[in-house]
Structure 1
């Protein structure tokens, strides 16, 4: 199965946050998505939003961008 990737490296807030919300709200339980973000403010806003949701979140600081691994958990 191919990974579900949302590449927001060319986007800035508020659009990056809105797109991340839209894609993560549509996840089914157990479904995963990788969100790629290069803007530190967008990364911070998306991270804060996801920490309040029913998801498992891990973040990596890579070369020039951030990768967020999001897994929808049981409500």
Structure 2
């Protein structure tokens, strides 16, 4: 299984959410996407979006400097 990792720690809201949405369109059902976020707004917005649209996701790492999410399409 292929896992795509996207480091979005250099970006500020709303760009990480936009990039996550675009990445999810590019992967097939069953594939995984790992996203790294640091912006406080994005750390809230991205998981909220994933829950709203029904993507299974889990927090892999949650530190003050970075939040790592693993998303299964």
Tell me the TM-score normalized by structure 1: 0.83
Aligned position for 2:14: 14
In 1, distance between residues paired with 2:17 and 2:67?
14
For residues 28-67 of structure 1, what are the structure 2 equivalents within 5 Å?
28-59=28-59, 60-62=61-63, 64-67=65-68
In 2, distance between residues paired with 1:63 and 1:2?
28
Report how far residue 15 of structure 1 moved: 1.1
| SS of equivalent residue, structure 1 residue 52 | helix
| SS of equivalent residue, structure 1 residue 30 | coil
Distance of aligned partners of 1:2 and 1:53 in 2 relative to their CA distance in 1, 3 Å threshold: same
Report how far residue 64 of structure 1 moved: 1.5
List 4+ stretches of structure 1 deviating above 4 A: none
In 2, distance between residues paired with 1:47 and 1:26?
19
| SS of equivalent residue, structure 2 residue 3 | coil
Aligned length: 72
